[in-house]
Amino acid sequence: MRFRLNLWALLVVIVFIPGLAGMRSPDAKDHFKQGLAAMREGKYDQALAQFTQALELDPKYADAYNSRGNIYLAMHQYDRAISDYTKAVELNSKYSEAYNNRGFAYQNKERYEQALSDFTRAVELNPKNFVAYNSRGALYTKKQQYDLAISDFTRAVELQTRYADAYSNRGIAYWSKGEYDNAISDYTKTLELNPRHVLAYSNRGLAYARKGQYDRAIADYTKATEIEPSYARAYVRRAWAYYHLKNYDQAWADVHIAQHLGQGFRARFLADLRQASGRDK
Q: What is the dihedral of CA 136, 140, 146, 151, to 10 degrees?
A: -20
Helix 62-74 × helix 44-57 angle, to 10°: 160
Averages of pLDDT over runs of 10 residues in the chain (281 residues) are 47 40 73 95 95 96 96 96 98 96 96 98 97 97 97 98 97 98 98 98 98 98 98 97 97 97 96 92 48
Q: List the beta strands (DSSP E) in the chain.
A: none
* pLDDT score, position 16: 39
Q: In the prediction, which pLDDT does 280 show?
A: 72
Helix (H, G, I), strand (E, B) or coil at 4: coil
* Per-residue confidence (pLDDT) for residue 107, from 0 to 100: 95
Torsion of CA 191, 196, 197, 201, to 10 degrees: 70
Could you please report the per-residue DSSP string of 55-123?
HHH-TT-HHHHHHHHHHHHHTT-HHHHHHHHHHHHHH-TT-HHHHHHHHHHHHHTT-HHHHHHHHHHHH
Distance CA 79, CA 86 (A): 10
Buried b / exposed e across 57-95, counting CB within 10 Å, b at 16+? Answer: bbebbbbbbbbbbbbbbbeebbebbbbbbbbbbebbeeb
- From CA 221, how far away is CA 248, in angstroms rounded? 17
Distance CA 218, CA 213 (A): 9
Phi, psi of 57 (to 5 degrees): -80, -30
182-186 long-range Cβ contacts below 8 angstroms, 24+ apart: 183/207, 184/208
Whole-angstrom distance, CA of residue 280 vs CA of residue 87: 61
Give the separation between CA 135 and CA 23, rounded to whole angstroms.
33
Q: What element of type H or E holds 152?
A: helix 146-159
First-residue to last-residue Cα distance in the chain: 35
Q: Specify the pLDDT at position 155.
A: 98
pLDDT of residue 23: 58
Nearest residue to 212 via CA among 175, 241, 181:
241
